[in-house]
Amino acid sequence: MKRSDVDVAVIGGGPAGLAAALAARNEGASKVLIIERNHELGGILQQCIHHGFGLHRFKAELTGPEYAQRFINLVKETDIEVLLETMVLEVRDDRTIYAVNSTDGMLEIGAKAVVLAMGCRERTRGALRIPGKRPAGIFSAGTAQRYLNIDGYIPGKKAVILGSGDIGLIMARRLALEGAQVEAVVEILPYAAGLARNVVQCLEDFDIPLILQSTVVQIHGDDRLEAVTIAKVDENWKPIPGTEQKIECDTLLLSVGLIPENELSREAGVALDPITNGPKVDDTLMTSVPGVFACGNVLHVHDLVDNVSKEAERAGAFAGRYALQQQADAARRVKVEAGENIRYVVPHEISLDKPVEFFMRVQRPEQNVVLDLGGLRTVKKPSVRPSEMLNITLTEEMLSKLEGDTLTVRIVPQKEDGVDA
């Protein structure tokens, strides 16, 4: 068994891993290693060939591969070591990593700091419990995206897409552009879950119907998918009898949510947040296991890769400092709590001695509200909804005013004299 030692080991070479590794190296960690299971870096961005990435970071609308390439090129200019086609099997709480590939066999890697950047997976039909048969032709949207954009195959020519999140919308356009017929995008919510721009450019441009407040209630076809039955749902998302409608199709794509992939984290003893399905982290993005950091979609599912990069740079920088033993323990620690109409907030704990960017999602859509961070900062929001992540930074000065041991983040109605700090 090969043994090696590094300062910072980054698990995953997608956008989070790339940015974390670069930040760790810039922080001064001399041996930085990226472990990537795929044959190339870039992660899921490589199959997201559409444009719209990087508006915040690069002030340009890049495609997924372009966004990834910029980071890959930066990594190539450094001495960051990259292991491709290498799968991490285990991370121990002493930061020993076991990974395999076909040329080195089993690798035992001792790391002074570890950054978890494994990304997320898609929810499956089983998780939704869509009734009916089990024919061929049912794919998660990301799998279909890979078939179409990487491997070069079109699953079928008549598709229904369940879920109007951005991946579902983007796949509707991709299929339509490639010459397949998209019969409908079906969404359980009363509004499209993805960006309005994608509704316009992916559905309206191609005359693809968006059917709201509906879901797939039956799968038909013994061998290959033949049709789906959809039905309207009530406010509890229960199908309403009598509203069924059968749509013939040979392909069903499921774009029904993403789940952070934390199997390695769990086995390492990392405490997880049952709402995000990601690790609980402090303001250095360190998990409950000392020296193990997390960022990107393994921490919580993001909608903008720009935010992933930013978060990962923070995790990477603090991992670098940890490896160099430059991170002093904070004198005072404060818990962050999700209050009224806040589903979750990351980080879960802060230490008041440095500025913190908070990422959060609301529970339900609301209009004309104020986002209130423990009274330290309030921000007016014309509208909030669960599919759009909110991010706000508190400066050291703002944090210095915090009393007590909890910071509660909440959404409150706008008053006439609502202040924007």
Q: How many CB atoms lie within 10 A of CB 98?
A: 15
Element (H, E) at 313: helix 305-323
User: Of 195, 147, 196, nearest to 174 (Cα)?
Assistant: 147
Q: Does the protein bind another protein through residue 242 (CB under 8 A)?
A: no
Of the pair 195, 334, the CB lying nearest another protein is at 195
Going from the C-alpha of 407 to that of each of 205, 299, 334, 337, 347, the distances in angstroms are 45, 20, 7, 6, 11
Q: Does the protein bind another protein through residue 96 (CB under 8 A)?
A: no
Region near another protein per CB under 8 A, out of 4-12, 103-111, 285-293, 310-318: 103-111
Phi-psi region of 404 (alpha: psi -120 to 50; beta: other; left: phi over 0): left
Write down the least CB distance from residue 26 to another protein, Å.
Answer: 23
CA atoms within 13 A on the CB side of 395: 3
List 200, 275, 419, 421, residue binding another protein (CB under 8 A): 200
CB of 140 closer than 8 Å to CB of 124: yes
Q: Does the protein bind another protein through residue 373 (CB under 8 A)?
A: no
Q: Does the protein bind another protein through residue 365 (CB under 8 A)?
A: no
Region near another protein per CB under 8 A, out of 84-92, 285-293, 330-338, 348-356: 84-92
Q: Does the protein bind another protein through residue 240 (CB under 8 A)?
A: no
Of the pair 1, 331, the CB lying nearest another protein is at 1
Region near another protein per CB under 8 A, out of 212-220, 283-291, 293-301, 341-349: 212-220
Alpha helices in 244-302 (DSSP H): 263-267
Q: Does the protein bind another protein through residue 171 (CB under 8 A)?
A: no
Of the pair 251, 378, the CB lying nearest another protein is at 251
Of the pair 155, 320, the CB lying nearest another protein is at 155
Tell me the sheet residues that pair with 101: 105
Q: Does the protein bind another protein through residue 104 (CB under 8 A)?
A: yes
Region near another protein per CB under 8 A, out of 7-15, 320-328, 342-350, 381-389: 381-389
CB of 272 closer than 8 Å to CB of 300: no
User: Which of positions 284-313 make contact with another protein (CB under 8 A)?
Assistant: none
Region near another protein per CB under 8 A, out of 14-22, 215-223, 314-322, 399-407: 215-223
Q: Burial level of 11, CB count in 10 A (0-12/13-18/19+)?
A: buried
User: Of 81, 95, 27, 78, nearest to 317 (Cα)?
Assistant: 27
List 4, 74, 98, 376, residue binding another protein (CB under 8 A): 98
Q: Does the protein bind another protein through residue 81 (CB under 8 A)?
A: no
Going from the C-alpha of 64 to that of each of 132, 305, 362, the distances in angstroms are 36, 9, 27
Write down the least CB distance from residue 189 to another protein, Å.
Answer: 15
Tell me how many residues contact another protein (CB under 8 A).
85
Write down the least CB distance from residue 9 to another protein, Å.
Answer: 17
